[in-house]
Structure 1
Amino acid sequence: MNGPDYYIPAVGLGCALAFKLPSLLRARHDPLLRSVCALLANASAVFFFAAPPTIEQVNRVTGITNVSAPLVYCLLSAFSASCLVLIVNWRGGPAEVTRRVSRRWIVGYTAVIVAITVLFLLGDTPTERLRDLDTYYARTPYVREMIVLYLAALTVAGVAMTVLCLRWSLRVSGWLRTGLVVIVIGYVFNLAYLATKFTAVFARWAGGDLDGLSTNAAPVLASVGALISAVGFCLPLVGRRLTDQWGTWATYRRLGPLWRELRSVSPYGVRPVRMSWWTSAELLVTRREADIHDGLLSLHPYFDARVRADAYKAAVTGGGGPVGARAVADAVMVTAAVRARGADPEGAALQVAGASAPNIPSGEEPRDLVGMSLALSRSPVVAAARAAAAAPSGSGTHEPTR
């Protein structure tokens, strides 16, 4: 792997961190948000400082041969701790327990980072190795222990993450479960990376040479594992957002029949307020609901309790439940009121003192409006009422409730 193979993921993770920073500034005491930002920062730093060009440059700037090795090992240990802390906070539970477990992981990996630094300082690495330091110095005193320590620390984190995510995935569903399974897949690659590293080091101890596993295969496995795990962490958040957006657009579409039914009595008539193409789905739904409320308000003097009661009975007789029957009854009453309003161009009903109407859903819950709208387009009771109103034998209209 070359420099761009490391720098591209580093930049991508850095952009994700920059996207999260404003939220962190607004809620700096949120442990979950802090954990997410710490993970993104550590992951980006690992990719950046593990790139061979960066390794060479850091060694040159500091003047310490192979100082990049403990730096990368410490960053990997910090990344492992941040993953564990994130999972602990993400899973939730009693706040005190969450803080205590998180603190233990942080303290443990802080001790590992200190030990890695001390062992490097005690060891001797006179020859610069940009890609194969693990195997080249596998038998060097203190450096050998440093290598085994960081690999063992990563293994503990990898096994713990895999077990935690698998157990949690059995208790949840939906996008969260999918994300946890993806994280486990990513950590399978990470464990394979560690297996290749250990195999190459053990081969050196035994006098063999399997350096290719550590130099060529391991970096690819680590990169793939890190990227898959990152997708797993992001998937529940992105998936939930996409699901919410899909539901909002579905609500917007389902409100269409009722909105079109009321356009003729809307205060804006046939020229509703236009929205920009970039308007959010949430605002479009709000605008459509507002238009519907305005239309219902203008029809209020024309609502007929008898029409609604007859439609409710017909819907119940047809096998509908109470909620669905109410939606059908309201839809039939609305269509009758629209016709009555059209037959009253002078607005005579508006002048009738004490005009009142039955108690209908106010529409404050979107589901009430959606139910009425779906009834307008799907209910046979509504279709029959419209057909009866259009029949030559009767006008199909009722007098407004007095």
Structure 2
Amino acid sequence: MTTSTIVASALWVVALWRLPSIRHSHKQRALALTMVSLATAMTFEVPQVRDVVNTLAGEEVRLPPLLKHLLGVISAAYLLDFVIAVVRPKGLARRTRLIAIGMTLPLMLTFYGLANWTSSGPIRIGEGRAALFPVLYMAVFTIYIGLAMIVATTLFLGGVRLSRTVLGKAGLGLLGLGTLLGSLYAIQRVTFVVIHLSTGTSYPDLENSLSTLLKQAAVLSIAFGLCLPPLSVAVDYARSWDTLRRLKPLWRELTGAVPYVVLKTAVRRWRIPFRLERCVIEIEDASLALREYVSLEMYEKAQDFARREGAPDEDVDAAAEAAWLRSAVQCAPAHQPLKGVEYPPLGVTDRDRASELAWLLKVAKAYRSAAVVEFCESGQSSAQQHVEWNSNYGR
């Protein structure tokens, strides 16, 4: 199996993976079409495919190079659309980009058709009749690819610092590397042309090897880079699922005591992030309702108990909250809320999203711990205090 076959196969795997997202949004559509264009372009470098196309179109036409270059330009245009949608959502020079692609494709077709061909393909620059047209063809192709890759590199690398996830940063970095290699591909093509025109010397083998290396490295880097942001979404989805799984036991306990806090609207099981959001809201609402069944004094006793049990300082408050929640769950079905007392604080107050989830996971873990269960059964919890408060202050 040749390198070109491996590269094309890898690109088609990614392209087919991304193709279903083509209808979701402009950004996803640009991403999917970038991969399909790249995969199709690199397919024309597979020897078997190239031979079949040459047989059908005729050896003298040499259609594969034209199709490959046209698709390369189209993929560069879609890639530019994608990075602008990611980094510059308000847009960037849309009219200029449309004019550029609208001029590049017809000019390439025109110059390719006017070029003088031999049985071995397009003639070398500066040789034979109509030698100017191959120069113009490659100039139009190289200028568009070079400028598109330079702009994309700037945007991708500039967007690395804006990404909030490690995989997102890595994906943008790989995309920036791929477009940088694409820029180097265009620069080396121009360099070899200048050397040939100025000195009459050409290095076809070196030019072909270097072009192939840079081109394949660029498209693979872009393909892998395009895979990482979606994988970042998958990782976030898996993390949300795991967090939801770990919070569910606490949710069941709390909402079982105050079921009226549960929202009635059903949510599909696969909507994990939304279900997690709802789970957190309902836990917080249940905690707010249950805190009226315990006093601040009990919460402080729970803190002292947690310290005596050897809980780390950063876990004492979470253990104390778990203790008063468990106590409130025990007495809520049979008693009325306490009156005339100060209630314990809620640990989720004034936290950002990540800190809020981390706190609730600590509370959920402590809720099931032997120390919290022992505290609630030791007579220090609000279950007994509730009776004392009611006898003193009335219901």
- Indicate conservation of the 8 Å contact 1:180/1:232, yes or no: yes
2:254 is the counterpart of 1:250: no
Summarize deviations over 1:199-241 as a string: whole Å, max 9, x none.
4444443333421223223213211211211222332232133
Summarize deviations over 1:290-349 as a string: whole Å, max 9, x none.
9x97xx79xx9xx68573332345579999xxxx999766533333356559xxxxxxx7
Q: Which of 371, 380, 390 is the aligned partner of 2:378? A: 390
Deviation at 1:117, TM superposition (A): 0.9
Summarize deviations over 1:50-95 as a string: whole Å, max 9, x none.
333333322321235223222222211111111112222222343x
Q: TM-score, normalised by structure 1?
A: 0.69
Letter in 2 for 1:36: L
Q: SS at the partner of 1:65?
A: coil
Deviation at 1:398, TM superposition (A): 3.8
Q: Which of 186, 203, 223 is the aligned partner of 2:216? A: 223
2:234 is the counterpart of 1:238: no
* Residue matched to 1:45: 40
Q: SS at the partner of 2:37?
A: helix
| CA distance, structure 1, for counterparts of residue 255 and residue 111 of structure 2 | 77
| CA distance, structure 2, for counterparts of residue 264 and residue 13 of structure 1 | 46
* Residue matched to 2:266: none
| CA distance, structure 2, for counterparts of residue 372 and residue 141 of structure 1 | 71
Deviation at 1:179, TM superposition (A): 2.5
Q: SS at the partner of 1:142?
A: helix
2:297 is the counterpart of 1:310: yes
- Indicate conservation of the 8 Å contact 1:59/1:67, yes or no: yes
**Equivalence map 1:57-76=2 (5 Å):** 57-63=52-58, 64-76=60-72
Moved more, 139-148 or 366-375: 366-375
| CA distance, structure 2, for counterparts of residue 115 and residue 224 of structure 1 | 27
**Equivalence map 1:63-102=2 (5 Å):** 63=58, 64-94=60-90, 98=91, 101-102=93-94
**Equivalence map 1:10-49=2 (5 Å):** 10-21=11-22, 24=23, 27=24, 30-49=25-44
Q: SS at the partner of 1:119?
A: helix
| CA distance, structure 2, for counterparts of residue 394 and residue 122 of structure 1 | 91
* Residue matched to 2:151: 160
Label 1:57 to 1:368 Cα distance change in 2 as closer, same or farther (>3 A): closer
Q: Which of 338, 343, 362 is the aligned partner of 1:374? A: 362
Q: SS at the partner of 1:220?
A: helix
**Equivalence map 1:252-267=2 (5 Å):** 252-253=245-246, 256=249, 258=250
- Indicate conservation of the 8 Å contact 1:197/1:214, yes or no: yes
**Equivalence map 1:326-341=2 (5 Å):** 331-337=322-328
| CA distance, structure 1, for counterparts of residue 382 and residue 301 of structure 2 | 20
2:275 is the counterpart of 1:282: no
| CA distance, structure 1, for counterparts of residue 163 and residue 293 of structure 2 | 49
| CA distance, structure 2, for counterparts of residue 166 and residue 194 of structure 1 | 19
Letter in 1 for 2:272: E
Q: TM-score, normalised by structure 2?
A: 0.70
| CA distance, structure 1, for counterparts of residue 291 and residue 178 of structure 2 | 63
* Residue matched to 1:119: 111
| CA distance, structure 1, for counterparts of residue 364 and residue 45 of structure 2 | 62
* Residue matched to 1:271: none
| CA distance, structure 2, for counterparts of residue 231 and residue 240 of structure 1 | 15
| CA distance, structure 1, for counterparts of residue 254 and residue 205 of structure 2 | 72
Letter in 2 for 1:72: K
| CA distance, structure 2, for counterparts of residue 149 and residue 203 of structure 1 | 18
| CA distance, structure 2, for counterparts of residue 394 and residue 48 of structure 1 | 71
Deviation at 1:10, TM superposition (A): 4.0
Deviation at 1:153, TM superposition (A): 1.7
Summarize deviations over 1:154-182 as a string: whole Å, max 9, x none.
11112111122233334554344332222
Summarize deviations over 1:124-174 as a string: whole Å, max 9, x none.
112233xxx5x8456423112212221222111121111222333345543
CA-based RMSD? 4.6
| CA distance, structure 1, for counterparts of residue 376 and residue 65 of structure 2 | 84
Letter in 1 for 2:362: L
* Residue matched to 2:262: none
Q: SS at the partner of 2:132?
A: coil
Tell me the number of residue pairs that the alignment of Structure 1 and Structure 2 aligns: 351
- Indicate conservation of the 8 Å contact 1:10/1:44, yes or no: yes
- Indicate conservation of the 8 Å contact 1:308/1:329, yes or no: no
Q: Which runs of 5+ in 1 are unaligned?
A: 268-278, 342-348
Percent identity reads 15
| CA distance, structure 1, for counterparts of residue 381 and residue 193 of structure 2 | 93
| CA distance, structure 2, for counterparts of residue 221 and residue 366 of structure 1 | 41
